[in-house]
């Protein structure tokens, strides 16, 4: 089973909209605000069950196209976005998208660090943007997450990414229950854990599960991200940590 099919299991299981997703989306797309999406033509690159597409549409996007390479995810995203007539969800690989100069804003959240050819994917997204269009990408950061490549990666790479996904879902309880208790008792204590302390158990369980299933999960340093985004048809590239201090947000404009 490929990583995208494994993610498909995740989005099929966790297909409900959680009230925390709005705050989470704002955190991942900082410093963009609701107004930045209003009346815009938007692309959500690799949308999963559509939880991120939902907010720009709610805030008045003119049109939104979301795509994913997993059929179950596409089906769930269609259900999530069914109330919006100006939303289109399509089955496509990020390596095969062929839109040109079509979108005012393109975002991709939690995707690029899972890809075998992240540069090619980024090139395709940039091509899909109009000149001066906005690109917003969120990826895992090495900074602040050093313990994950050290302790979680060997388990993910050698064991859990190879096990049947339903078994990994069950094994995730052995991490999610202690983690849930920890963040509830200590109210965080800080950074992303603080934000996590506001999540319900299932949200935390899905985050643990999400960490254990993919074949590829890169935790990039700021200089890795600078290298990845160099040589693309972009200007005004800003690389920042989100307010919760986890991940890199790359915000740029197409030249
Ligand atoms: C961690 S999930 C993030 C989904 C969504 N952006 C979110 O934040 O909820 C990564 C997504 O990338 C998708 N994906 C992986 N490889 C892809 C590819 N080659 N083309 C399109 N989507 C892909 C997976 O199917 C999965 O839905």
Pocket flag, ligand 1, residue 197 (CB < 6 Å): no
Q: Are residues 159 and 35 in the same domain?
A: no
184-205 average pLDDT score: 86
Tell me the CA–centroid distance for residue 4 and ligand 1, in Å: 6
Pocket flag, ligand 1, residue 46 (CB < 6 Å): yes
Tell me the whole-structure pTM to 2 decimals: 0.94
The answer, yes or no, to whether residue 189 has pLDDT greater than 80, is no
In this prediction, residue 181 carries a pLDDT of 95
Query: Which of 143, 129, 148, 117 minimizes the C-alpha distance to 251?
Result: 129
Number of structural domains found in the chain: 2
Q: Are residues 193 and 226 in the same domain?
A: no
In this prediction, residue 209 carries a pLDDT of 93
Q: Are residues 200 and 172 in the same domain?
A: yes
Report residue 233's pLDDT band, with 50, 70 and 90 as the boundaries.
Answer: very high
pLDDT, tens digit, 9 for 90 and up, residues 115-136: 999 999 999 999 999 999 999 9
Query: Which of 130, 131, 128 minimizes the C-alpha distance to 98?
Result: 128
Atom of ligand 1 nearest to the CA of 93: 20
Q: Are residues 79 and 153 in the same domain?
A: no
Mean pLDDT (the chain, rounded):
94
**Phi/psi-derived region of residue 110, left when phi > 0, alpha when psi is between -120 and 50, beta in every other case:** left
Q: Are residues 134 and 244 in the same domain?
A: yes
Q: Are residues 81 and 164 in the same domain?
A: no
- The preferred substitution site among 68, 90, 206 for testing ligand 1, maximizing ligand atoms within 8 Å of CB, is 68
In this prediction, residue 8 carries a pLDDT of 92
Diameter of the chain by CA atoms?
Answer: 50
Q: Are residues 24 and 132 in the same domain?
A: yes
Residue numbers of the domain that contains 179 = 147-212
Report residue 3's pLDDT band, with 50, 70 and 90 as the boundaries.
Answer: confident
Pocket flag, ligand 1, residue 95 (CB < 6 Å): yes
The answer, yes or no, to whether residue 47 has pLDDT greater than 90, is yes
Q: Are residues 138 and 193 in the same domain?
A: no
Pocket flag, ligand 1, residue 4 (CB < 6 Å): yes
Q: Are residues 152 and 130 in the same domain?
A: no
Pocket flag, ligand 1, residue 10 (CB < 6 Å): no
In this prediction, residue 141 carries a pLDDT of 95
Q: Are residues 154 and 52 in the same domain?
A: no
Q: Are residues 54 and 17 in the same domain?
A: yes
Burial of 113 (0-12, 13-18, 19+ CB in 10 A): buried
Q: Are residues 105 and 40 in the same domain?
A: yes
CATH assignment of the domain containing 13: 3.40.50.150
């Amino acid at each position: 089973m490929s990583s995208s099919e494994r993610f498909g299991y995740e989005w099929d299981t966790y297909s409900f909209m959680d009230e925390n997703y709005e705050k989470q989306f704002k955190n991942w797309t900082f410093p963009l605000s609701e107004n930045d999406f209003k009346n815009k033509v938007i692309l959500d690159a690799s949308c999963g069950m559509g939880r991120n597409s939902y907010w720009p549409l709610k805030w008045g996007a003119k049109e939104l196209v979301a795509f994913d390479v997993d059929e179950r995810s596409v089906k769930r995203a269609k259900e999530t976005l069914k109330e919006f007539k100006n939303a289109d969800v399509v089955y496509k690989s990020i390596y095969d998208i062929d839109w040109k100069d079509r979108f005012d804003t393109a975002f991709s959240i939690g995707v690029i660090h899972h890809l075998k050819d992240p540069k090619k994917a980024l090139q395709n997204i940039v091509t899909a943007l109009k000149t001066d269009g906005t690109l917003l990408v969120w990826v895992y950061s090495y900074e602040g997450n050093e313990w994950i490549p050290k302790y979680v990666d060997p388990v993910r790479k050698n064991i859990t990414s190879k096990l049947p996904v339903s078994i990994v879902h069950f094994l995730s309880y052995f991490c999610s229950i202690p983690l849930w208790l920890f963040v509830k008792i200590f109210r965080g204590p800080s950074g992303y854990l603080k934000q996590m302390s506001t999540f319900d158990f299932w949200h935390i369980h899905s985050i643990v599960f999400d960490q254990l299933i993919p074949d590829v999960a890169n935790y990039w340093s700021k200089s890795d991200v600078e290298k990845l985004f160099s040589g693309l048809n972009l200007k005004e590239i800003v690389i920042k940590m989100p307010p919760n201090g986890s991940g890199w947000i790359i915000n740029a404009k197409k030249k």
